[in-house]
Amino acid sequence: MFRNICMLLLLQISITATAQQDAWVYLTDKANVASSLANPITILTQKAIDRKQQYSIAIDERDVPVNEVYISNLKTQTGITVMAKSKWFNAVHVRGTEADINALNALSYVDSIDFADKSLNSGSRDYHAQDKYDSVEVQEVFTYGSTQNQVEMINADNLHLEDFTGEGITIAVMDSGFPNVNTLGAFQRLRDNGHLLDGYDFVTRNTDVYANTTSSHGTRVLSDMAGFIQDQFVGTAPDASYYLFLTEDVSSENPVEESYWVEAAERADSLGVDIINTSLGYRVFDNSNYDYTPADMNGQVAFISKGASIAVEKGILVVVSAGNAGATTWQTVGAPADSPDVLSVGAVDANGNYVAFSSQGGAAQVGYQKPDVVARGGAAFVVDQNNTITQNNGTSFSSPILCGGIASLWQAIPDASPTEVMDYVRQSASQYTAPDDLLGYGIPDLDLARSIALSVDEDLIPEFSVYPNPVGDELNIQFPVDDISAELNIYNQLGQRILNTNVANNFNTVDVSFMAPGLFILELNSEGTTKTYKFIKR
């Protein structure tokens, strides 16, 4: 019996030694860094350079590509397959046996190795459960057709009425498959306008992003932003421009998909993309040794979450589905929705009520709120790969619905930075003053977000300071110096004066608790000068 046990142990050791592992190999340096930074057009598009200059974002060593000599050499190493690369992390995702990967430490250009199986050093996919397709027939047709509720819920329709439809904003969609986007009638407007820019399949290394028909998830996601069927279906950003990147391998659950995603984000950055939408989430893998835990969802552990944070640092607004684990023992958001730097979107139903599958905030998110906001993800309307309007459940759809709305908002406030846009969206949401782990800050009002942004611009006039904005019960008026008095008038949107009073001295508090929620104009008349400000009453 002892002999049998020994043989079993030897067999287990042998299997472990020869099993294929995934790991990130971090490299020591890059080639031609100084010359690349001196001539950034050699590593970035002009659009990317312009975007970074607009937001005062430095072009640094992370923008320089990985040394291809190192990659070529890694490919020659015994038992090693190179799966992906990341310039931001100066890392290469490899696959091989534990022994073969550890042997890479002997290479002079290898700085460190991080196995996906943490027990060897020292993810979380929720795709199959991510979206439940419950198809139903379209029953009503409105001006927006089927999408009226999901568009109006976030007040994107008011932006559209003023011709803010996402034009001039570029969105990269990271997903699992985009079959028939190049032929479907729902995307005819997109193609005719030249707004379907390009695509790439990072899983198969194929430029034909439409060839993979194993999943139509990306097609459905894209429809909620870019879809247009006359009088039947309108996405939230029908005139934005789109890159389509396939980063999810639906045949397996492996952390290499995180690396594909980071590669795609890096390409999006180099192309000058404004917004990334991703309706993917990572928690557990086929190899349980790679699994994350809810405690890992702090934005600092998962490779994809750290990559998403860098994308934001590089000037991209990243919108992420919160996940569909709300009714499971996992419960909290997955990666990369756990990053404090991204805008994570949970789901509500057509009535604005929390839906049980929507992932919640958890103990791991210390000092920041998850999800950030919510949009309709319960029985949301989408267009499938057959050009049929149907309904699907999942935060996979609340994310693009809001993402497209944000593109339309950003068109209206083009001088705002990505971080400012996210802040305006949060401030406009229905429970901004009392967020919770179910709805975050609540349902955004994107038209209100625009008003907040415009009022903030006006508050930059140095003579007076009017805050907070939005305001609750008390509005503060601060003068630049003492011994100044002013007549204060407040007008509603109809131009009716609802308050007239005098303010004096350096600091004043005005009671506005009697006012109904909405947008108001404040007028200050002092020493022959009149200043006006917009503010929001909650």
Catalytic residue among 124, 223, 396, 455: 396
Nearest to 377 by CA among 199, 221, 517, 269: 221
- Strand order across the beta sheet in which 507-511 lies: 465-467, 474-478, 507-511
Nearest to 207 by CA among 258, 250, 245: 245
250: part of which helix (H) or strand (E)? Answer: none
Interatomic CA distance for residues 393 and 11, integer angstroms: 45
Chain centroid to Cα 16, Å, comes to: 38
Distances (CA, A) of 323 to 128, 315, 360, 367, 488: 11, 24, 8, 20, 48
Distances (CA, A) of 218 to 148, 162, 214, 384: 21, 29, 11, 9
Contact of 92 with 28, CB cutoff 8 Å:
no
How many of the other CB atoms lie within 10 Å of CB of 513? 10
Q: What is the DSSP pairing of strand 170-175 with strand 275-278? A: parallel
The answer to whether residue 396 is catalytic is yes
- Strand order across the beta sheet in which 20-27 lies: 81-86, 91-97, 20-27, 110-115
Give CA angle at 234 (315, 406), nearest 5°.
20
Chain centroid to Cα 398, Å, comes to: 12
Nearest to 400 by CA among 315, 269, 275: 275
First to last CA, the chain: 76
Nearest to 225 by CA among 393, 361, 397: 397
Interatomic CA distance for residues 512 and 514, integer angstroms: 5
DSSP string, 320-337: EE--S-TTSSS-B--BTT
Looking at the chain, the number of H-run helices and the number of E-run strands are: 14, 23
Quick check: bond before 418 cis, omega within 30?
no
Interatomic CA distance for residues 105 and 122, integer angstroms: 15
Structure tokens at 344: 């994570």
Interatomic CA distance for residues 419 and 275, integer angstroms: 12
Catalytic residue among 93, 160, 195, 217: 217
Interatomic CA distance for residues 466 and 475, integer angstroms: 7
The answer to whether residue 124 is catalytic is no
Catalytic residue among 22, 100, 117, 175: 175
Query: What single-letter amino acid sits at 171?
Result: I
Interatomic CA distance for residues 174 and 162, integer angstroms: 29
The answer to whether residue 93 is catalytic is no
Query: Which residues are identified as catalytic?
Result: 175, 217, 396
